[in-house]
């Protein structure tokens, strides 16, 4: 039986929701335990072909690209601001965040696809993701993004209930 190696790169997938603190807290704790780096990742839905077609009637393609890029930069800034606020409120969790946090990434696409693709292409050892579980017909249902990530991931996935 093979020995479990410590995690070196942890992908913390966030939807920027209000209940993500327990998920981030787990990512921080695991990064400390394994002396790993954290990559914060948020996936945004792309404009899509219909939206692009409508926008292209009113503005050149370069402007559409610039608007998309500006939106991505705004999301990154929102992530940095939330991280700053989180650390101000939970100082014990973030005292060494600069050593643990490798980068903040925003990518366009279906969240589950973006998460798995990023993990596959960036040497990620563990994905930490939150899930809104709900009851349906007496059974607990896992959120669609978390379910799809676990079904297709090539690395371990830690799902933290956050709703």
Q: Domain coordinates of the chain in residue numbers? A: 9-161
Contacts of 77 (CB under 8 A, 6+ apart): none
pTM of the full structure: 0.81
Buried b (16+ CB within 10 A) or exposed e, 52-69: eeebeeeeeeeebeeebe
57-71, 73-87, 136-150 — most confident range: 73-87
pLDDT, one tens digit per residue, over 112-123 is 999 999 999 999
Q: Is 9-161 a domain of CATH 3.40.50.620?
A: yes
For helices 61-89 and 48-56, give the axis angle rounded to 10 degrees: 120
Residue 38: closest CA among 92, 99, 88, 106: 99
Query: Looking at the predicted structure, is the pLDDT value of residue 141 above 60?
Result: no
pLDDT tens per residue across span 121-139: 999 999 999 987 655 555 5
Residue with tokens 């692009």: 52
């Amino acid at each position: 039986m093979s020995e479990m190696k410590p995690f070196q790169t942890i992908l913390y997938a966030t939807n920027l929701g209000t209940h993500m603190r327990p998920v981030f807290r787990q990512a921080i704790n695991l990064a400390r335990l394994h002396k790993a780096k954290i990559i914060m990742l948020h996936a945004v839905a792309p404009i899509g072909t219909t939206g692009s077609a409508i926008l292209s009637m009113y503005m050149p393609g370069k402007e559409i690209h610039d608007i998309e890029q500006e939106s991505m930069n705004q999301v990154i800034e929102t992530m940095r601001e939330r991280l700053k606020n989180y650390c101000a409120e939970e100082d014990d969790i973030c005292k060494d965040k600069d050593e643990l946090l490798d980068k903040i990434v925003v990518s366009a696409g279906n969240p589950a696809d973006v998460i798995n693709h990023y993990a596959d292409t960036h040497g990620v050892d563990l994905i930490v993701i939150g899930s809104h579980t709900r009851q349906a017909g007496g059974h607990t249902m896992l959120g669609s993004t978390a379910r799809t990530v676990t079904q297709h991931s090539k690395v371990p996935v830690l799902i933290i209930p956050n709703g």
